[in-house]
Amino acid sequence: MTNVFCPMIELGAIIPGIVLAYLPIQKHLKVSKLKMFPVLISSLVCLCALCGYICYRFNLKSLVLAVPIVIALLVTYCCSLRTSVWKSASVSLAVCGVFACIASITRAVDSITFPQNTTQWFGIESAVLFNILCWLFVILAWYPATHGVSELLDDENIAQTWYVFWILPIIFILLNFFIIPWNPNILHAGRIMQGYVVISVSLLVLLLIFYALLYFMAKSLNRNNKLAQENQFLNMQRAQYDALKGAIEETRQARHDMRHHFAVLNALAEQKDWVELEGYLSSVAQSIPDTELKLCENSAVNAVVGHYYSRCKSNDIPLKLKLDIPEKLPVTETDICLVIANLLENALEASLKTDKEKRQISVYARLHSDNIIIISVENAFNGDISEKDGIFSSSKRSGHGIGTQSVRRIAEKNGGYCRFTYENGIFTADIMLRG
């Protein structure tokens, strides 16, 4: 009778796997974890009991039902999060890779302890051991998952890393599938058992080492990307400072010359030479420098907008600014600066390809509430925009545009939104950043 519980307990290892998968990414849940986890755990208990009974009733390997269950849970897991599919899929596959290695170790222990076991699943003691090992790994990985890995997942600077990370756990999952003996008696022939134990333990150790190496590499790349962004912002601030310094110098020179202009104007007025007076006034008006900069109170945003203001001015592109951004922001300065820089960069590139008489860029940004910032950027374009499934193609190289994808990730990571529309030759980006 106890055999009926063996596949149930063995499939029950899915529960610690789900718990471990949600640990580093729980901040990105679409619903409250207090509402989701009780329903999820109770549903998994019932599902494991039902599928375990089916395995017992029809004498099926637990792996036959474990695979479709895990695939269904992967889809559910990705749909329950606000992060990109690449990140959520990579995390879930990483957990599957570790648990596949633990399953191989448990299989070796089961074969050594109960060589007479010929069922399609672990014995009752080995099934319990399998769950104990899985929960033990969850406990050991709790702190690294909720701190180091969580910080890495929250960062948006190295999204490219997640496009290749999934390959590693899939390789180890396939390796563990490959070494599963179809006939358990094979393990007891010669020194196969010793080799199987060594291979199983080695796969787990190697996988954990690779995870650690990739983590430190990702942290290093992340740090380098942040330094590059800070250098970019510093260059923008320096460019704005140089522009302001030049404008101040021009204004000082203009004020110095103004006294001479008034002397000449006074002389022409006394002589009643109105034609000469009108011509002189016109020439003086043209020589007065235009130093009006419609910026905001936040220095970081000032630097970014000032940089693109100078670039637009040098390329004869009208730039209208209406910024109401305070010094203290509800969102990180890096996020809002990256959003504005990407949007203005795209607007500038589109304007350079547009007829001069149609060029126009408008930027509107304001604090909507204590934790929401609204940003809107409009620009004219030449009518050539390639979009598929909400993803825009890059105009500088083949493939997708990185700028709009970066804006979308930053906007949506805390429950904000972004919307891109284009009609009648006007491209509009509406962004809501939530603190």
The per-residue pLDDT for range 267-284, each reduced to its tens digit, is 777 777 777 767 777 776
Whether residue 215 is found in the same domain as residue 301: no
**Number of neighbours of residue 176 by Cβ within 10 angstroms:** 24
Question: For the chain, how long is the longest CA-to-CA vector?
Answer: 122
Distance CA 354, CA 351 (A): 5
On whether residue 360 sits in a domain, the answer given is yes
Query: Residue 131's closest CA among 35, 45, 3, 59?
Result: 45
**Number of neighbours of residue 299 by Cβ within 10 angstroms:** 13
Q: What are phi and psi of 116, to 5 degrees?
A: -85, -5
Query: How far is the CA of 315 from the CAs of 131, 180, 343, 360, in angstroms?
Result: 66, 66, 17, 12
Q: Residues 6 or more apart from 116 whose CB is under 8 A from it?
A: none
pLDDT for position 377: 92
Whether residue 164 is found in the same domain as residue 16: yes
Strand boundaries in 255-349, DSSP class E? 319-324
State the DSSP string of 111-131: HHH-TT--SSS--HHHHHHHH
Distance CA 313, CA 345 (A): 14
CB 91 within 8 Å of CB 153: yes
Mean pLDDT for 335-363 is: 87
Mean pLDDT for 189-201 is: 87
Q: 270 or 351: whose pLDDT is higher?
A: 351
Would the pLDDT of 341 be above 80?
Answer: yes
Whether residue 212 is found in the same domain as residue 350: no
Q: 304 or 284: whose pLDDT is higher?
A: 304
pLDDT for position 392: 61
> Where is the domain boundary, 180, 196, 222?
222
- What is the SS3 assignment for 283? helix
pLDDT for position 289: 52
Q: Residues 6 or more apart from 415 whose CB is under 8 A from it?
A: 82, 434
Compute the CA torsion angle 149, 154, 155, 160 (nearest 10 deg).
80
Whether residue 215 is found in the same domain as residue 353: no
- For the stretch 65-95, pLDDT in tens is 999 999 999 999 998 987 778 888 999 999 9
Mean pLDDT for 278-296 is: 63
On whether residue 417 sits in a domain, the answer given is yes
CA angle 48, 108, 55 (to 5 degrees): 25
On whether residue 191 sits in a domain, the answer given is yes
Please give the structure tokens belonging to residue 358.
């149609």
Mean pLDDT for 303-311 is: 82
Please give the structure tokens belonging to residue 203.
């796969």
**Number of neighbours of residue 252 by Cβ within 10 angstroms:** 10
Domain count, the chain: 2
Would the pLDDT of 144 be above 80?
Answer: yes
Distance CA 312, CA 318 (A): 7
Q: Which helix (H) or strand (E) element contains residue 422? A: strand 417-423
State which residues form the domain around 297: 292-435
CB 399 within 8 Å of CB 393: yes
Compute the CA torsion angle 168, 172, 177, 178 (nearest 10 deg).
100
pLDDT for position 121: 82
Query: How far is the CA of 238 from the CAs of 68, 249, 279, in angstroms?
Result: 57, 16, 39
Chain-wide mean pLDDT for the chain? 82
Whether residue 121 is found in the same domain as residue 213: yes
- For the stretch 11-55, pLDDT in tens is 999 999 999 999 998 888 888 888 888 999 999 999 999 999 999
pLDDT for position 224: 82
Whether residue 179 is found in the same domain as residue 299: no
On whether residue 192 sits in a domain, the answer given is yes
> Where is the domain boundary, 183, 199, 222?
222
On whether residue 86 sits in a domain, the answer given is yes
CB 380 within 8 Å of CB 358: yes
On whether residue 252 sits in a domain, the answer given is no
Whether residue 27 is found in the same domain as residue 159: yes
pLDDT for position 70: 93
Q: Which helix (H) or strand (E) element contains residue 318? A: none
CB 157 within 8 Å of CB 225: yes
Please give the structure tokens belonging to residue 201.
């333990």
Would the pLDDT of 288 be above 60?
Answer: no
Mean pLDDT for 363-389 is: 82
pLDDT for position 159: 56
- For the stretch 85-143, pLDDT in tens is 888 899 999 999 999 999 999 998 888 888 777 677 888 899 999 999 999 999 999 99
Please give the structure tokens belonging to residue 328.
């203290």
pLDDT > 70 in the chain, percent: 83
> Where is the domain boundary, 222, 238, 264?
222
Mean pLDDT for 178-186 is: 80
